[in-house]
Amino acid sequence: MTDFTSGFWTWFIIIPTLAGIVGLFWLNRWMAAPRRKGEEETTGHVWDEDLRELNNPLPRWWLNLFYLTLVFGLVYLVLYPGLGTVAGVLGWTQQGQYEKEIAQADKRYGALYEKYLSQDLRVVAANAEATKTGERLFVNYCTGCHGSDARGGPGFPNLRDSDWLWGGTPEAIEATILNGRQGAMPAWGAVLGREGVHSVAEYVLSLSGKRTVNQTAAAAGKQKFQQLCVACHGPEGKGNTAVGAPNLTDDVWLYGGTQQAVMESIEKGRRGQMPAHRDFLGEAKVHVVAAYVYSLSPPPAPAPKVAASSKP
């Protein structure tokens, strides 16, 4: 109701609505008009030569039911919003109803989440009961983007691998969910031209070592990469979690790792957004969801052991 751009639309709703109710009152009254004694009105339908269909008034009790529905409609429009921007005397709004229900739910179920808020995320992630609770929250609020199995899709990160744009520590995951993230890959098509986009794409694809590339184009692309891309992706293409720049050497691709997809990312850029859930879910629920998400990723590989030297 509040997002109407002009008063015209309010009157566009009020006039037809009230005119329709008045018209139905008149129709009801007309249908109840009595016939003069001995007068018969037919519909003009005749069967078997003399069997006529009469047009008699509707029963009074039937018409009174229609009157009751019309009165109910008028009372409803007085009490609740239904006539454009007219709020109704009760002041009811969808937002207010939603906030009331959320407050009631938090009062009833809040303790289920609050008990984990003071615990370290690693401890919560190791708690089977907590992760089941986090999984239910994830299914309700996160599957629209990340999928029911948390493996994501084009433009939405896979949460079950060890590749993290903004860092995979429990604290980084919780910060991402609480505050949201804004990812931006600038468009370089106008700067590089079509040939330059192709050569940079060949070099980027060569970094993961999973595809045979045109070495001449890749060599030219490396020079352009060092000029334009190292500020975010680093000189070796390993990315930077401080700005959400992906690692280009691990063959994990957010928008696809084909030559066409990589060229499109370079030429047109990308815009990604992770919405903030602090106000929507609250810190206690986010804490549990973050622990669940952290539990999905494989643990980091142990550092290789260095053999002890036999030399003195």
192-215: pLDDT as tens digits: 999 999 999 999 999 988 778 899
- Domain match, 110 and 252 both: no
- Domain match, 112 and 255 both: no
Strands (E), the chain: 42-47, 51-54, 181-185, 270-274
Least confident of 95-109, 225-239, 262-276: 95-109
pLDDT tens string 218-246: 999 999 999 999 999 999 999 999 999 99
- Domain match, 132 and 261 both: no
Domain that holds residue 155: 100-180+275-296
- Domain match, 206 and 268 both: yes
Place of tokens 């986009």: 197
- Domain match, 121 and 197 both: no
| 224 assigned to some structural domain | yes
Residue 169 burial (CB count, 10 A): 14
- Domain match, 107 and 157 both: yes
| 54 assigned to some structural domain | no
At 40, the pLDDT band (50, 70, 90 cuts) reads low
Q: What's the CATH number where 150 sits?
A: 1.10.760.10
- Going by C-alpha positions, the residue among 242, 292, 271 that lies closest to residue 135 is 292
- Domain match, 194 and 267 both: yes
Residue-level pLDDT at 312 = 44
Domain total of the chain: 2
Mean pLDDT across the chain: 89
Residue 267 burial (CB count, 10 A): 20
Q: How far apart are CA 203 and CA 264, in angstroms?
A: 14
- Domain match, 188 and 269 both: yes
Contact (Cβ atoms closer than 8 angstroms) between residue 183 and residue 165: yes
Contact (Cβ atoms closer than 8 angstroms) between residue 48 and residue 58: no
| pTM for this prediction | 0.71
Residue-level pLDDT at 278 = 94
- Domain match, 267 and 282 both: no
DSSP state, residue 226? H
| 260 assigned to some structural domain | yes
At 4, the pLDDT band (50, 70, 90 cuts) reads low
Residue 307 has pLDDT above 70, yes or no: no
At 16, the pLDDT band (50, 70, 90 cuts) reads very high
